[in-house]
Every structure is written in C-alpha cells, then in structure tokens.
Amino acid sequence: MLSIFFLFQYKSKIFNSVRLLFPFPVPQKQGVTLQLNTGWTTYMSYDGQQLLHAAAELIAAHELGHSWGADHDPDSTECSPIASGRGKFLMYTYSVSGYASNNDVRLELSF
C-alpha cells in the first residue's frame, strides 16, 4: 500500500510554517526501508512572485514523480538533452519552464 500526503499552497517559505515528514516503512528483502511520503509544492517563487501555471504544474508532477519512486534523469545526452533544443525532461534535476516540447515528458529511465 502506498500512502502519500501532498500539499499545494501559495507560500514561498513553507518550512518556516509547516514541518511535515512522515516515514513510511517499505518491506524489502534485506529488511525495511523508510521512505518519506510527504511532498509539497507552491505557486510562489522564492522572490514572492506567482509562478506560471505550466511551471507550477510541472514542478508538482516532478515532485509526485519522486513520491512514486522516480529519480532525476541521468546526466547523459539521451536522457538530458540540451535545453536550447527540445528542452529537458520532466525529471531533470532543476525545474523546467514548460515552454519546451520535452518538458512534460517523463522517461522510463526515471522509474
């Protein structure tokens, strides 16, 4: 059973007001692994400006990807194409703008 708590809000400094981490035990062959099943995303940038909906939705999708077990895309030509071309994929290490065609694509390699 997978249990996820995900918070959407409009604050730039969530950790000053909310501290939520819930360990979730996952049975493994070699014992138990704890995973944090809490995620959060905000529609406000670090400087207090509202993010564009496309960018905020992609950030939320990226963080939900982590909740479902996805890692960041490997740093290779195939998995991390240049940003000036079709853009980075959804699970790239840094957030993407949403304007490039690859921005909302996830790779099977990420999962």
Judge whether 57 counts as a catalytic residue.
no
Q: β-strands 23-28, 31-36: how paired?
A: antiparallel
Which two three-digit tokens encode residue 48? 């207090």
Amino acid at 49: Q
Cα atoms found within 13 Å of the Cα of residue 62, Cβ hemisphere only: 23
Which two three-digit tokens encode residue 55? 């960018």
Nearest CA among 48, 46, 21, 17 for reference residue 36: 21
Of 57, 63, 78, 108, the active-site residue reads 63
| CB 40, CB 53: distance < 8 Å | no
Q: Which residues are catalytic?
A: 63
